[in-house]
Amino acid sequence: MDPEQVMHEYLQGSAGMPNVQNAFDPAIGSLEIDLPYAILNSGEFVGGQLLIALAMGANAWVAGQGSNEITMADDLDVFGTLAWDKNTASSGDIWELASTYINSMTIGSETNSNLKASFDIQGYDLFWPGRTGSTENQVADLTSLPTDLATLIMHNDFVFRLNPQDGALADADRIGISRWSSVLNNNLTTPEQATPDDQMAHTNAMKTIQPCRNGFREVTFEITIPRYGQDIGDSSSIDAFSEWRTNETPLQADLMATGPSGEEFDIIFPHLRVTTVGNPVGGPAVVTNTIQFKALLRNSDSDVTFGQGTTDAGEMWMETDDGRTGAILA
């Protein structure tokens, strides 16, 4: 909760503050997770792909392949419930954030580590044990969840490919990266207060009205190449990124992770533009190369597709082939 309060600051003959009142009760925060390949265990799914799907907004199950395609929704109108047991009691209510929207998502991995994601979230209402009104979920619901961990998606599972939209991505386009990250910012409205509204079914003026897009969606992508001095992909130039930036060259890229049992986690960027290139001589250490991109709507020259050969108009797509047996946003 991030309550906003009003101080009683009127002049009343005393230097002290006589009172304070709650004005608004938005529920916002952040969440960080490690991302495994999703598994199905005793009828429950273990994985973070639901949060990703909530952040991006659209999802389709490809029955033939048994994969999920996650894409961007123009009108982000999906939200979920987050629940967590802080282990303060053996039964009863738990902490629960209802009607949670994902305002932004940062996902990435680096050398010697696994894939991680963090989310800026805003919900409608936060419940905790002892608060009036019971939660949808109870301690028993969480303790019954599977405890064996799915296989984490590791940095070393990924293959990164990038080219200037001169054909389908291939082995010749592989680029060794030591770190990557992508940020999706939905630019939702910050928690807004309004009096009760019949049309919006808004009944509690202390809670936020439903968030919606308040600006352009922004998707950025960043990579670090551990050595400056190697030709980039099949470009025959060590300064290809700088040249692509100067020449405003559209690019395309994908990050394909394959797990030990053949699971897959793919991120696809159909249209990228280089925004900054950094390879300073920072001292006697090796010179690295850090490149930032802006992801744009798919353009007609883009060659990348989903596994089944289809495409999407959005700036970033994900495709997962794991323990899921149906659409994530079912």
Partner 1 sequence: MSGSALGVLAKAAFRLGSDQGMVNAAYPTDEAGADAEETRIGGSDLIPLLSESIDEGVNLSFDETIIGSPAISGGDKVSILPSGGLDAAAFYDGLDALIFAVLGFEKPEAGDGPVAQSGTALTSTASGATSYKDAGNPFVAGDVGKFIQTLDGAAEGQVRRISAYVGAGEVTVTPAWDSNPADATTAVMAQEWLHTYECANRMADMLWPTLYSGYPTGGVGTANDQVIRRGDFAVSKNSATKPWVWRGCYVNALTISIEAGGAMNISVELLPFNLDRDSATNLQAQLTEWDWDNNSPLFQSNERVMFPDIQHFRLDDYSTGTALTSADDIGISKLELSINNNLAADDLDSVSGLYRVEPARSSHREITGSFSVPRYGNNIGDSGDLDAFDEWRQDETTLMANLKMQGTTIANVARYLNMWLPSLRITNVTKPVNGPNVVVQDVTFRCLTPTGQASGFPTHNLTTPRSEVMIQTLNQCPYNQGRDQQKEY
- Tell me which residues touch partner 1 (CB under 8 A): 72, 74, 213, 216-219, 227-231, 236-239, 242, 245-246, 248, 273, 275-287, 294, 296-297, 299, 313-315
Alpha-carbon span 94 to 128, nearest angstrom: 6
Beta carbon of residue 12, minimum distance to partner 1 (angstroms, whole number): 39
Q: Which of 56, 62, 96 is nearest to 76 (CA)?
A: 56
- What the block records as the tokens of 77 is 């109108």
CB of 314 to partner 1, least distance (A): 6
Shorter beta-carbon distance to partner 1: residue 179 or 294: 294
Nearer to partner 1, 242 or 258 (CB): 242
Q: Give 70 or 219: the residue with its C-beta nearer to partner 1.
A: 219
User: Minimal distance in Å, beta carbon 22 to partner 1?
Assistant: 34
Closest CB to partner 1 among 201 and 281?
Answer: 281
Q: Please, what is the minimum distance in Å from the beta carbon of residue 231 to partner 1?
A: 6
Please tell me what DSSP assigns to residue 228.
B
Smallest distance from partner 1 to CB 87, Å? 40
CB-side neighbour CA atoms (13 Å) of 299: 13
Burial 178-199 (b: 16+ CB within 10 A, else e): bbbbbbbbbebbebeeeeeeee
Smallest distance from the beta carbon of 127 to partner 1, in angstroms?
31
Number of other CB atoms surrounding residue 62 within 10 Å: 16
Burial class of residue 151, CB neighbours in 10 A (0-12, 13-18, 19+): middle
Of residues 12 and 275, the one with the C-beta less far from partner 1: 275
Taking the C-alpha atoms of residue 301 and residue 72, their distance in angstroms, rounded to an integer, is 20
The residue among 207 and 245 lying less far from partner 1, judged by its C-beta, is 245
> Minimum Å distance from CB 281 to partner 1?
4
The answer for residues whose C-beta is within 8 angstroms of residue 141's C-beta and 6 or more apart is 83, 94
Query: Tokens 């919006």 label which residue?
Result: 200
Nearer to partner 1, 271 or 324 (CB): 271
Dihedral angle of Cα 100, 103, 108, 113, to the nearest 10 degrees: -40
Q: Which is nearer to partner 1, 147 or 236 (CB)?
A: 236
Total number of residues shown for the chain? 330
CB of 100 to partner 1, least distance (A): 20
- CA dist list (Å): 32 to 76, 115, 227, 248: 21, 11, 30, 35
